[in-house]
Amino acid sequence: MKAVKVHHIGIAVKNMEREKFWNQFLNVKAEEMKEIPDQKVKIAFLPVGETKIELLEPLGEGAVSKFLEKRGEGIHHIAIEVDDIEGTLASMKEAGIALIDENPRQGAEGKIAFVHPKSTGGILLELVQP
Ligand code: CMX
């Protein structure tokens, strides 16, 4: 049971126009853009080497719109790819870590689960198993 790599870094943006910055100066282009209605968010994945930048634009009231209101644009979460998401969650649960998702759910990139920032030193952590 271990972390494989930084799968992506989620950045909350007010508008997907922010994609232009990555495109113009860093030659990074969104490989896909999609809407995730149940998370009230529109996402774009921009591949950078082994990892990705995920731009998150709110689609109505939800976790991302609340984050933007309180903290403004910026890093919203870090996603770590793990080789055994169920085992990782079970060991965290046993240790009393605050889990937002006790069981993995289906995300855009495979099985995902969120861990609360209060247990990780202030970072919203996403676990991903593609
Ligand atoms: N990173 C770091 N800290 C965060 C945070 C974030 N993204 N979001 C909230 N916090 C902090 C707040 O600053 C606040 O801290 P204080 O108590 O010190 O003030 C605390 O967490 C509670 O914040 P809140 O605004 O009241 O937010 P909620 O408790 O309502 O929700 C969270 C926070 C993380 C539980 C919720 O956003 C959540 O469940 N997130 C997981 C799902 C998600 O983020 N989906 C969108 C992305 C989907 C995708 O990438 O596919």
Which residue has the least CA distance to atom 49 on ligand 1?
A: 39
**pLDDT, average across residues 34-57:** 95
Coil, strand, or helix at residue 39? helix
| 82-113 pLDDT, tens digit each | 999 999 999 999 999 999 999 999 987 899 99
Q: How confident is the model at residue 1 (pLDDT cuts 50, 70, 90)?
A: confident
**Does ligand 1 have an atom closer than 6 angstroms to the CB of 70?**
yes
Ligand 1 pocket: which of 67, 78, 102, 119 to mutate (most atoms <8 Å of CB)? 67
What's the domain count of the chain?
A: 1
**pLDDT, average across residues 57-63:** 96
Predicted pLDDT of residue 53: 97
Atom number in ligand 1 closest to CA 79: 50
What CATH number did the domain enclosing 104 receive?
A: 3.10.180.10
Give how far Cα 3 sits from Cα of 73, 80, 97, 106, 128, Å: 27, 7, 17, 19, 10
Say how many Å lie between the CA of residue 54 and the centre of ligand 1. Answer: 16
Q: What is the pTM of this model?
A: 0.96
Q: Give the domain extent around 54.
A: 3-129
Does the pLDDT value for residue 23 go beyond 80?
A: yes
